């Protein structure tokens, strides 16, 4: 279940439930593009959605990930989106029209608090990604991305190619391959075609940059305060 929806009082959930449609999101699917006004709001359950910004050379770079604690499309609130939303990992999600969201929000104060918390978490991720890209090595940024992905999926197998990692992080494919090789040699991960298996999360955490831990410290209290989840 999407934890944002699960946190709602029964009366608010029922007000929203009649507008929700359970759908399957497929890897690579574009939900909306930067500059477009989203017509739908999405609540991931098993899917992960990447928020991607234009790097200036026409190749969008991932700056945040949205999973089952989040909603996708809320930041726009009927205005053009500042990011491209692309499905990173296939899975289920609930979908609701933006029109319905705007219509029922006044009836659901807890829901609005959760929506603000979700937007806050997204902006925190975006800010920390910018800092990380300026301060830390390819390996550290790669490790941070892996740890965040593990947090979203709770699965030690990440279905991703070297080329996709190159596009997500904005580094040359050769740099990605070299750093994955270093982690493999240490026994931290195992790489096969299209899959990175995490063998030792503890080892990755030891080598991670401070950006990952700062993000964890920022996101948890924000979520507890606004939504009430531990």
- Three-state SS string over 31-65 comes to EECCCCCCCEEEEECCCEEEEEEECCCCCEEEEEE
73-123 pLDDT, tens digit per residue, is: 877 677 899 899 999 999 999 999 999 988 888 888 988 888 787 777 778
45-67 pLDDT, tens digit per residue, is: 999 999 998 877 777 888 888 88
The two domains 1-101 and 134-213 share their CATH topology (first three levels equal): no
186-217 pLDDT, tens digit per residue, is: 999 999 999 999 999 999 999 998 888 887 77
| Segments making up each domain of the chain, as ranges | 1-101, 134-213
Cβ 64 vs Cβ 169: under 8 Å: no
CATH 3.40.50.2300, applies to 1-101: no
Instruction: For the chain, report the end-to-end CA distance as a whole number of angstroms.
Output: 16
d(CA 169, CA 207): 18
CATH topology of domain 134-213: Arc Repressor Mutant, subunit A (1.10.10)
Q: How confident is the model at residue 22 (pLDDT cuts 50, 70, 90)?
A: very high
110-163 pLDDT, tens digit per residue, is: 888 887 877 777 788 888 888 888 889 999 999 999 998 888 877 899 999 999
164-185 pLDDT, tens digit per residue, is: 999 888 899 999 999 999 999 9
- Candidates 145, 143, 149, 140; CA nearest to 189 is 143
């Amino acid at each position: 279940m999407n934890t944002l929806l699960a946190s709602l009082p029964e009366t608010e959930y029922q007000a929203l439930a009649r507008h929700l449609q359970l759908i399957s999101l497929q890897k690579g699917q574009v939900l909306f593009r930067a500059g477009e006004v989203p017509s739908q709001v999405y609540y991931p359950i098993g899917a992960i959605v990447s928020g991607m910004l234009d790097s200036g050379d026409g190749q969008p770079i991932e700056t945040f990930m949205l999973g089952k604690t989040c909603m996708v499309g809320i930041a726009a609130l009927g205005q053009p989106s500042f990011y491209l939303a692309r499905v990173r990992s296939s899975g289920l999600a609930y979908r609701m029209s933006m029109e319905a969201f705007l219509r029922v929000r006044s009836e659901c104060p807890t829901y609005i608090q959760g929506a603000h918390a979700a937007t806050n978490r997204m902006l925190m991720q975006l800010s920390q990604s910018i800092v990380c890209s300026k301060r830390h090595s390819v390996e550290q940024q790669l490790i941070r991305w892996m740890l965040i992905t593990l947090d979203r999926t709770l699965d030690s197998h990440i279905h991703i190619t070297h080329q996709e990692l190159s596009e997500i992080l904005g580094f040359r494919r050769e740099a990605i391959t070299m750093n994955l090789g270093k982690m493999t040699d240490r026994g931290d991960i195992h790489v096969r075609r299209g899959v990175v298996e995490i063998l030792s999360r503890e080892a990755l955490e030891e080598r991670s940059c401070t950006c990952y831990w700062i993000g964890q410290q920022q996101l948890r209290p924000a979520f507890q305060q606004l939504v009430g989840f531990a």
